[in-house]
Amino acid sequence: MRTKITKSVVLVCIAVTLCSFTLDRQNAVRFQKGSWSQVSKLAKQKEMPIFIFVGAKYCHISRKMETVFAKKEVGEFYNYHFVCMRMDPTKVMENFRLTNWGISQVPCILFLDANRKIVERCNGYLDEKRIIEKGQKALAAIEDENKQTPQSSPIQTLVKRITPKNLLTTFQ
């Protein structure tokens, strides 16, 4: 009888622990699975900037950053404001892209606007306060960039495409 109660208590403790881990993962940063082209298309569709975490399994600081990404405040902020992606420099195609961006160390954090232009980057470990501050700084930089480049209306875009040469061929 006593062993049945002990087993029941142990099973309940395990179930509660597993549920708490599941809830923590739901609040964590949701990194999109898929290729770079898929993630960038998703960001373009949603009209959201891209957050990229460059980390490697062999790097203890990268593994330590995983605990920061599991924090509720960090997850809520990044999931709301960014399309998030994780890149591993040990994968050939991702390493090629990272090298083209000038990334030579891990961990590294990149913020890109919807047009895939790097707006902000940071190397090394960031705690939850600093990583949210970096994200806010990147959003402010993207907002400033959008204010500086005036948006063209569809009619303005069409007028820019019409040239005297186009007009002559259209009406002949």
Could you tell me which residues come within 8 angstroms of residue 152 by beta carbon, excluding any fewer than 6 positions away? Answer: 160
Domain contains 153: yes
User: What CATH number does residue 108 fall under?
Assistant: 3.40.30.10
Query: What is the domain extent for residue 84?
Result: 27-171
Domain contains 8: no
pLDDT of 154: 53
Instruction: Please report how many Cα atoms fall inside a 13 Å half-sphere around the Cα of residue 136, on the Cβ side.
Output: 8
pLDDT of 23: 38
pLDDT of 26: 73
pLDDT of 100: 78
Name the domain count of the chain.
Answer: 1
Domain contains 107: yes
Could you tell me which residues come within 8 angstroms of residue 127 by beta carbon, excluding any fewer than 6 positions away? Answer: 68
Domain contains 19: no
pLDDT of 92: 78
pLDDT of 11: 47
Instruction: Please report how many Cα atoms fall inside a 13 Å half-sphere around the Cα of residue 62, on the Cβ side.
Output: 17
pLDDT of 30: 94
The tens-digit pLDDT sequence of the chain (172 residues) is 556 555 554 444 454 444 444 434 578 999 999 888 899 899 889 889 999 999 999 999 999 999 999 999 999 999 999 999 998 888 878 887 887 788 888 899 999 987 888 999 999 999 999 999 999 999 999 888 877 766 555 555 444 445 555 445 444 4
